[in-house]
Amino acid sequence: MQCRGHRDNGESFTADVWFSTYKERGRPRLAAIIGEVTEEPIINHTEYQERTALSEREVDVLRYLVQGLANKEIAVCMGVSESTVKNTLQQLFAKSGVRTRSQLVRVALETYRDLL
């Protein structure tokens, strides 16, 4: 699986990561092996912050997403269409470099916790 990451200085990288599960003393464990790391073009910190800054609507969608609401429920709470919620989620996926809702929740809690 390829994972994207961002350093504190705004630099981006992609790494090949393999996951494996095993048991130790009868308890499930997860191991991650990081393979090749590919450096991406360096961008300055200001550009990185501008590119990853969230709009008010994106923050609102994240708040509801973290609470476990479905797109329809988020739309009702925000007074917008379900399509608007889906479009906003696509923008959030692109900004955060993730593909799934659960990954987006993780990124939200790690990166934007103070906004939620």
- pLDDT tens string 32-77: 666 666 665 555 545 555 566 788 999 999 999 999 999 999 999 9
Sign, Cα dihedral of 45, 108, 101, 37 = positive
Spell out the residues 6+ positions from residue 11 whose beta carbon is closer than 8 angstroms to its own: 39, 40, 42, 43
Q: Where are the domains of the chain?
A: 1-49, 54-116
Pairing of strands 2-6, 12-24: antiparallel
Dihedrals φ, ψ of 51, to 5°?
Answer: -70, -30
Residue 87 has pLDDT above 90, yes or no: yes
Query: Which residue reads 């379900």 in tokens?
Result: 82
- For residue 36, the model assigns a pLDDT of 65
Query: Cα(116)–Cα(97) distance, rounded to whole angstroms?
Result: 19
The pLDDT, as a whole number, for residue 17 is: 74
* Arithmetic mean of pLDDT, 7-36: 75
Would you identify the CATH topology of the domain 54-116?
A: Arc Repressor Mutant, subunit A (1.10.10)
